[in-house]
Amino acid sequence: GENVEQHPSTLSVQEGDSAVIKCTYSDSASNYFPWYKQELGKRPQLIIDIRSNVGEKKDQRIAVTLNKTAKHFSLHITETQPEDSAVYFCAVLGGGGTSYGKLTFGQGTILTVHP
Amino acid sequence: NAGVMQNPRHLVRRRGQEARLRCSPMKGHSHVYWYRQLPEEGLKFMVYLQKENIIDESGMPKERFSAEFPKEGPSILRIQQVVRGDSAAYFCASSPPMGFGDTQYFGPGTRLTVL
């Protein structure tokens, strides 16, 4: 099955700095890669996603890059703010067959933005 | 447009009792997914359902757990004879009936505590 590795597990930055979180995956047939933000006790909230026919996508301070050849994708947050503090999860959607519809999540990154 | 709804939000059961968790997908969505999140861990896929069909149950424990999504009404995740290790947050997600690679939107979760 799909294997998703996420790094780092914790990330501490100063307000205004950039934050980068990286994920690798194993199934080359996977073609949809969302990122979720989860605050304590809350639901995972989709913040950005990318499909395999695109190499980069940006939404204001958040961007995601995808390297299908190397099977890795990254979340970039610029000009971080204290309210960006949360746990961030990458995920990979199964590429087909028995994995169709199934999201496999990374282990999560605890991001702390210090004022 | 109401989001994914789950109830109850909190559920306390004693060992050996049954737990029934309900999920109503977003309006117009016909695909439902259940994920489990153990304390301080990532989300793990359990089951993927469409109306009256189980598409993928590869993440469901073989015993005590079952899921359904009837023609009418919410999806139900049922855990029989609960044990302390079942204590977790159970999240439901839904996606529209467009097939491959659709975005999954999460509900607020049900936090199950087994005493």
pLDDT digits (tens, 9 = 90+) for A69-78: 999 999 999 9
Q: Which of residues 45-104 of A touch B (CB under 8 A)?
A: 45-46, 49, 51, 89, 93, 96, 98-104
Between CA A99 and CA A109 the distance in angstroms is 24
Question: What pLDDT is attached to residue B98?
Answer: 64
User: Reading across the β-sheet that carries A62-67, which strands appear in turn?
Assistant: A4-7, A19-25, A72-77, A62-67, A56-59
Q: Which of residues 48-107 of B touch A (CB under 8 A)?
A: 48, 55-56, 58-59, 91, 93, 100-101, 103-107
* Per-residue pLDDT reduced to its tens digit, A7-24: 999 999 999 999 999 999
Q: Where are the strands (E) in chain B, listed by range?
A: 5-7, 10-13, 19-24, 31-37, 43-50, 53-56, 65-68, 75-79, 88-95, 105-106, 110-114
pLDDT reading at B5 higher than 90: yes
User: Reading across the β-sheet that carries B19-24, which strands appear in turn?
Assistant: B5-7, B19-24, B75-79, B65-68
pLDDT reading at B87 higher than 90: yes
Q: Chain B partners of A66 at a C-beta cutoff of 8 Å? A: none
The tokens for A52 are: 């395999």
Between CA A110 and CA A58 the distance in angstroms is 22
